[in-house]
Amino acid sequence: MAVDLLLGLQWGDEGKGKIVDVLTSKYNIIARFQGGPNAGHTLVFNGMKHVLHTIPSGIFHKNATNLVGNGVVIDPVVFKDELDKLSTHGIDYKKTLLISRKAHLILPTHRLLDAASEASKGKAKIGSTLKGIGPTYMDKTGRNGIRVGDLELENWKDKYRKLANKHQAMIDFYNVDLQYNLEALEAKFFEAVKTLTSLRFIDSEEYLHSAQKAQKSVLAEGAQGSLLDIDFGTYPFVTSSNTTAAGACTGLGVAPNTIKEVFGIFKAYTTRVGSGPFPTELFDVNGETMARVGHEFGATTGRPRRCGWLDLVALRYACQVNGVTQLMMMKADVLSGFKTLKICTSYIYKGKEINHLPYNIEAENLKPVYTEFMGWSEDLTKMENASTLPETLMTYISFLEKELQIPIKIVSVGPDRKQTIFR
Ligand code: GDP
Ligand code: IMO
Ligand code: MG
């Protein structure tokens, strides 16, 4: 049986959590393949809002198995908080949640190193979520990391101490003003590790292989977005994992030729949280309206998200890198009431018009060229059927489909599970 992928095509926060939850009833297994608690995936149903950071977004469905794959980095402290919240909602996660032995652990000193690195960069900081993501993936590729499976070994604390000591020396080297109490952080960490070890650790690549052979269906859930990919994103203002389709192969151990649908998810406009280039960013009342109506605040850090028009050049690039087969357009409701809308259809780069994302996309090199569209004023949030969508919205959708040559299969018109229109 094939694996389907769902991933973000912009700078994250496209609405991945919502759609994974909506699609979960069609799958046996939901598997996160990269990232960690830098992610914040929001689900809204029955009048409640839930934010997941490391746990896959299928967790509220009894019949689905949720797997945290080898490509994910886990902070036991954040993980425990997530589990505690699930318990208050009566979710019996012990039955449905599995963790790859090969997933790496975020240590308290990884978080401190993240903070020290950012502080040392001053104005050039990445705008990291300070969850320790960069330093943990550095230890993974540097072959020094501690993995979930190590927690089953007797001497894992020796390994921990050696690595934490090294981190302390590195933190000192940064020579920045960082206030912390490592003893208190470690006490919390070791307590949370106890909770983590009460869950089922598995050899997940083997598990997925057997599941596929047994005709089980798998939906791989991405975190972040394609423009935050360590290779293909706006480096160095990116995260430290491959957020694009290839990341699902390395982050789960599924073979590329078993991947079927690639669901690419994007907002009807664009947002970005943290530093880095953003060609279509708005600094006017239009941007403010998107932020206000769309409640554009980070689900993990609460930081305001920067807002701008939809960037078709960047979207096309993301579709190519991922091999997107179906598109999902989110937050169409947020654009209701704009008299006119703009889509960036090319860039002026060093005086020439281009249709691709160049190496340098800083504002001084690149100016967006826009195509204007008529807006719509109808309230979309109660619409349930594609046939009721306003004509001007349909023109906006058809234009994107024609340009990208990929169908937009879902139009999302509100945060709730039910505010999802299938086409
Ligand atoms: P993720 O990281 O991709 O899962 O996305 P986030 O949860 O960080 O951010 C998406 C935000 O938009 C959340 O607050 C969602 O509840 C909300 N949301 C998702 N889809 C829609 C939609 O169609 N309309 C509106 N107004 N909000 C939405
Ligand atoms: P979800 O899964 C939006 C951004 C940070 C920062 C950069 C690097 O909810 O879409 P990191 O902590 O990874 O070292 O930060 O990446 N970032 C996200 N932005 N959504 C996310 O996840 C993000 N995860 C990281 O703001 O600019
Ligand atoms: Mg998010």
pLDDT at 1 over 80: no
How many angstroms separate the alpha carbon of residue 42 from the centre of ligand 1?
A: 6
Does the beta carbon of 16 lie inside 6 Å of ligand 1?
Answer: yes
Q: Residue 365 has what pLDDT?
A: 86
Confidence class of residue 2 from pLDDT cuts 50, 70 and 90?
confident
Question: What are the residues whose beta carbons fall under 8 Å from the beta carbon of 349, sequence distance 6 or more?
Answer: 358, 365, 366
How many angstroms separate the alpha carbon of residue 306 from the centre of ligand 1?
A: 15
Specify the residue with its C-alpha closest to ligand 1, atom 10: 15
Long-range Cβ contacts of 179-187 (<8 Å, 24+ apart)? 180/112, 182/108, 182/109, 182/112, 185/108, 185/111, 185/112, 186/108
DSSP letter string over 266-291? Answer: EESSEEE-SSS--TTB--SHHHHHHH
Kindly report the pTM of this predicted structure.
0.97
Specify the residue with its C-alpha closest to ligand 1, atom 2: 13
Smallest-distance ligand from the CA of 265: 1
Shortest CA distance to 114 belongs to which of 137, 130, 138? 130
pLDDT, one tens digit per residue, over 4-58 is: 999 999 999 999 999 999 999 999 999 999 999 999 999 999 999 999 999 999 9
pLDDT, one tens digit per residue, over 168-206 is: 999 999 999 999 999 999 999 999 999 999 999 999 999
Active site residues: 13, 41
Supply the DSSP symbol for 297.
B
Specify the residue with its C-alpha closest to ligand 2, atom 21: 224
Residues at CB less than 6 angstroms from ligand 2: 8, 11-13, 35, 38-41, 126-129, 131, 133-134, 223-225, 228, 237, 239, 273-274, 299
CA atoms of 322 and 99, how far apart (whole Å) = 26
How many angstroms separate the alpha carbon of residue 237 from the centre of ligand 2?
A: 10
Handedness of CA 76, 81, 87, 91 (dihedral sign): negative
From the number of C-beta atoms within 10 Å of its C-beta (0-12, 13-18, 19+), residue 217 rates as middle
Does the beta carbon of 21 lie inside 6 Å of ligand 1?
Answer: no
Smallest-distance ligand from the CA of 12: 2
pLDDT, one tens digit per residue, over 330-354 is: 999 999 999 999 999 999 998 999 9
Measured between its terminal Cα atoms, the distance across the chain in Å is: 25
Host H or E run for residue 152: none
Let me know: does 16 contact 7? Beta carbons within 8 Å. Answer: yes
How many angstroms separate the alpha carbon of residue 90 from the centre of ligand 2?
A: 29
Specify the residue with its C-alpha closest to ligand 1, atom 20: 415
Average pLDDT over residues 296-310: 91
CA atoms of 300 and 118, how far apart (whole Å) = 17
